[in-house]
Amino acid sequence: MTVHDAFHLLYRLIGPGLYLLLAVIAVEFVNLVTLRHLNGLGIVPREASGLPGIVLSPLLHVDF
């Protein structure tokens, strides 16, 4: 295994997680800039309007 192959393997293992981390940081930054207006997209119990929150809630937290 060459060094190039090792870096390629490392990138394939870490790359997706790194992109997810960058996405979470970007969403948190947008949430900060919009004065926490994205928090309204969280889960709203027993309401159909809260269904998108199931997907978006892992990206929305109280702070960094």
Give me the pLDDT at residue 34, please.
Answer: 93
Give me the pLDDT at residue 29, please.
Answer: 92
Read off the pLDDT of residues 6-26 as tens digits, 9 standing for 90 and up: 889 988 999 999 999 999 899
Q: What are phi and psi of 63, to 5 degrees?
A: -155, -175
Give me the pLDDT at residue 48, please.
Answer: 80
- Spatial contact of 38 and 27, defined as CB atoms under 8 Å apart: yes
Q: Which two tokens stand for residue 10?
A: 């490392």
Q: Which two tokens stand for residue 8?
A: 């390629």
Question: Could you tell me the end-to-end alpha-carbon distance of the chain, in angstroms, rounded to an integer?
Answer: 39
